[in-house]
Amino acid sequence: MQKSKNFFLLLFFVLAALVIGGLVSELTAGIPWLKWLTYGQSIAFNSDSAGPLIDLQIIQLNFGFRMQISVLQIILIVAALLIYRKVR
């Protein structure tokens, strides 16, 4: 029981860091001296292909995945992990 509670607390902290980091990096994109916080990379798998991945004549399935992470999100994830260590 305690292990699952700790896992969900860690998951909450990391997801909150990702969401808050994404929001703040979008808000600081127009500020020149904070623009470095928005630098990042994206990883994508089959996210913008034109045709379906599986075509069964009745149903067509297309799966895609795209993840974009910024400097601010990395900083906030590290902070979330440190906070988790203190709280746990």
pLDDT of amino acid 78: 96
**What's CA 17's distance to the chain center, in Å?**
9
pLDDT of amino acid 52: 58
From CA 24, how far away is CA 30, in angstroms rounded?
Answer: 11
Give the chain's radius of gyration (CA, Å). Answer: 18
- Which residues of the chain are modeled with pLDDT < 70? 1, 46-53
Q: Which residue has the tokens 């910024």?
A: 70
